Amino acid sequence: MGLGKILVVEDEPVIRSSLRRLLTRNDYEVTEAESVDDACQNDLASFDLIISDLRLPGEPGTALIQKSEHTPVLIMTSYASLRSAVDSMKMGAVDYIAKPFDHDDMLKAVADTISRQEAAAKKPEPAAPTINNNESDANPAGIIGQCDAMMTLFSRIRRVAPTEATVLVLGESGTGKELVAKALHDASRRDDKPLISVNCAAIPETLIESELFGHEKGAFTGATTTRNGLIEAADGGTLFLDEIGELPLEAQARLLRVLQEGEIRRVGSVESRKVNVRLIAATHRNLKKMASEGQFREDLYYRLNVVELNLPPLRDRGQDITLLAEALLEKTTAKMGTGSMLLSPEALVAISRHPWPGNVRELENAIERAVILSEDDMVTPDLLGLENASIASAKPSINSSAQSQALQDDSDSELSMEDYFLRFVLEHQNQMNETQLARKLGISRKCLWERRKRLGIPRKEAV
């Protein structure tokens, strides 16, 4: 029995014949086709791998990605165009190789792809995460969110995580880009290998190359021993480069070599070493603009931007803000051992009104500050240290259109947050279940239950 069944799709007879001979000599069973239509005469699902030229008569080779469903497709291109290679990867190609190809490189790409496919088939399929904000562990890496932008992000994380594609995570500082990297790693086939996180902005420019690529003894003053770099430490696993826009141009050139050739060279060494890492990069800067201005290598930008994930700022996430605040409060009190605490209605108003320029990191710091300063089990606005805390007792600004209308109808009356909560629950609990009520109020079911208890509002009895 051979090492696997491969379909070769190539319109040039000489290349097709050469590739068939190379693969059959190495114990692969090969079927040939000269176009996408010709290839589809076969049962594509019966092959372990499809190797296709990008430019074919009729449809391009990338058309086989959708048609083959679960069979991986490796794209060949004689144009060696970085753009076409990136486009192929975005469409779902498992890998690409430039013609004329090196025989050893081709055999390695084939063997790696088939072995990953076999490993994935043996690995139990994980249950698709349910976006349930009362159980944050069900979300990727425990990320909390239910707004449309976060739902889209969760879906894309689940799609891209099992692939080997390089990912670029974009978002303002403090939005949780490292959590996204962890989610991608945990759901990948490299989850049993290390995830190495590096903040490029936190390492001095003079040391960044040594930190990433390692150095030989005597390479520079102070290099008294040979040292492995962080990229070598991530071998077999995932490398997360945060704030990659701060990487110096010379280090960018070295990183490009890692992505193109899968090898590194330590500072002061003439010898290259093979590494196998999946790269996830993140930045709050506009890399495309930086590339056009010569501040970032354009070829590296296209290599990084195979799949782009966008994290929305906290101010654009609607009711996620209160969900996060309550989750962070629970996490902080557990860490500090202070016992259970609640956010007062006025504190929730202050939190929902604040613009959060520092995003989730700023919210986490505000909650931690409040827990430290609080003298009882209630977090009040003044403890959060926010600019709008002094007006938190005013009529709340509510995201839900239903709640906004309810308040407008009572514009002549001065409702406190407690009064509003009481009126809203009593008026709507006959039409809504607990989950719907909590969602409309922008709180968790647990918080809804606790406030019912505190205000003495009984739950509607089940019929």
pLDDT in tens, 326-342: 999 999 999 888 888 88
Same domain, 296 and 166: yes
CATH number, domain with residue 350: 1.10.8.60
Q: Rounded distance, CA 346 to CA 428, Å?
A: 22
**Is residue 155 situated within a structural domain?**
yes
More confident site: 344 or 184:
184
Task: Give the model's confidence band at 133: pLDDT under 50 very low, under 70 low, under 90 confident, else very high.
Answer: very low
What's the CATH number where 260 sits?
A: 3.40.50.300
φ, ψ (nearest 5 deg) of residue 459: -75, 145
Same domain (yes/no): 268, 141? yes
Going by C-beta distance under 8 Å and a sequence separation of 6 or more, which residues neighbour residue 4?
28, 29, 48, 49, 110, 114
Residue 364 pLDDT class (50, 70, 90 cuts): very high
Average pLDDT of span 414-427: 62
Asked if residue 282 lies in contact with residue 243, where contact means CB atoms within 8 angstroms, the answer is yes
Residue scoring higher pLDDT (180 or 430): 180
| 157 shares a domain with 262 | yes
Query: Which H or E run contains 322?
Result: helix 320-336
Predicted local confidence at residue 311, as pLDDT:
94
Single out the residue in 337, 364, 391 at which a domain terminates: 391
For the chain, the C-alpha Rg in angstroms (whole number) is 27
Residue 252 has pLDDT above 50, yes or no: yes
Residue 154 pLDDT = 93
Burial degree of 39 (CB within 10 A; 0-12, 13-18, 19+)? buried
Instruction: Report how many domains make up the chain.
Output: 4
Is 130 part of a structural domain of the chain? no
In this structure, the answer to whether residues 233 and 321 fall within a common structural domain is no
Going by C-alpha positions, the residue among 77, 69, 117, 118 that lies closest to residue 98 is 77
Mean pLDDT of 420-424: 68
Helix (H) or strand (E) holding 155: helix 148-160
| Assigned domain for 460 exists | no
Say if 127 falls within a structural domain.
no
User: Looking at the domain assignment, is residue 396 inside a domain?
Assistant: no
Residue 160 shares a structural domain with residue 281: yes
Same domain, 158 and 176: yes
The pLDDT score that the predictor gives to residue 417 is 55
pLDDT over threshold 70, residue 9: yes
Q: Per-residue confidence at 282, pLDDT binned at 50, 70, 90? A: very high
- Flag whether 463 is in a domain: no
Domain shared by 17 and 95, yes or no: yes
What integer pLDDT is reported at residue 180 of this predicted model? 95
Joined together, the tokens standing for residue 103 give 């025989």
pLDDT reported for residue 261 = 87
**CATH number of residue 18's parent domain:** 3.40.50.2300
| Domain boundary, last residue among 250, 275, 310 | 310
- Residue 332 sits in which domain range? 315-391
pLDDT on residue 401: 40
Residue 314 has pLDDT above 80, yes or no: yes
Same domain, 183 and 275: yes
146 and 245 housed in the same domain? yes
DSSP codes, 333-391? HHHHT----EE-HHHHHHHHH---TTHHHHHHHHHHHHHHH-SSSEE-HHHHT-GGGGG
8 pLDDT band, cuts 50/70/90, is very high
Tell which phi-psi region holds residue 206, choosing left (phi > 0), alpha (psi between -120 and 50) or beta.
Answer: alpha
Q: What is the pLDDT of residue 390?
A: 44
The DSSP secondary-structure symbol of 278 reads: E
- Structure confidence by residue, pLDDT tens digits, 40-76: 999 999 999 999 988 889 988 888 988 887 889 888 8
Indicate whether 424 pLDDT > 90.
no
- Residue 310 half-sphere exposure toward CB, CA atoms < 13 A: 8
Q: Which is more confident, 8 or 423?
A: 8
The pLDDT of residue 122? 62
pLDDT of amino acid 219:
67
Per-chain mean pLDDT for the chain: 80
Residue 189: pLDDT over 60: yes
pLDDT value at residue 1: 53
Residue 136 to residues 131, 132, 146, 442, 444: CA-CA distances in angstroms? 8, 7, 11, 16, 11
- Return the pLDDT at 124: 52
| 110 and 12 in a common domain | yes
pLDDT in tens, 202-238: 888 878 888 888 877 766 666 667 778 899 899 999 9
pLDDT of residue 367: 94
pLDDT tier for residue 408 given thresholds of 50, 70 and 90: very low
Q: What pLDDT is stored for residue 438 in this prediction?
A: 72
145 and 255 part of one domain: yes
* Listed residues 391, 412, 444: the one ending a domain: 391
Q: Is 90 exceeded by the pLDDT of residue 300? A: yes
Same domain, 244 and 155: yes
In terms of average pLDDT, the best of 72-81, 268-277, 398-407, 451-460 is: 268-277
CA distance readout (Å), 123 to 119, 187, 188 = 6, 12, 11
- The answer to which of 229-243, 287-301, 377-391 has the lowest mean pLDDT is 377-391
**pLDDT, position 17:** 87
Do 417 and 396 contact (CB within 8 A), yes or no?
yes
What integer is the mean pLDDT of 433-460?
Answer: 72
Q: Quick check: 163 pLDDT over 70?
A: yes
Is residue 330 in a domain? yes
Residue 387 lies in a domain: yes
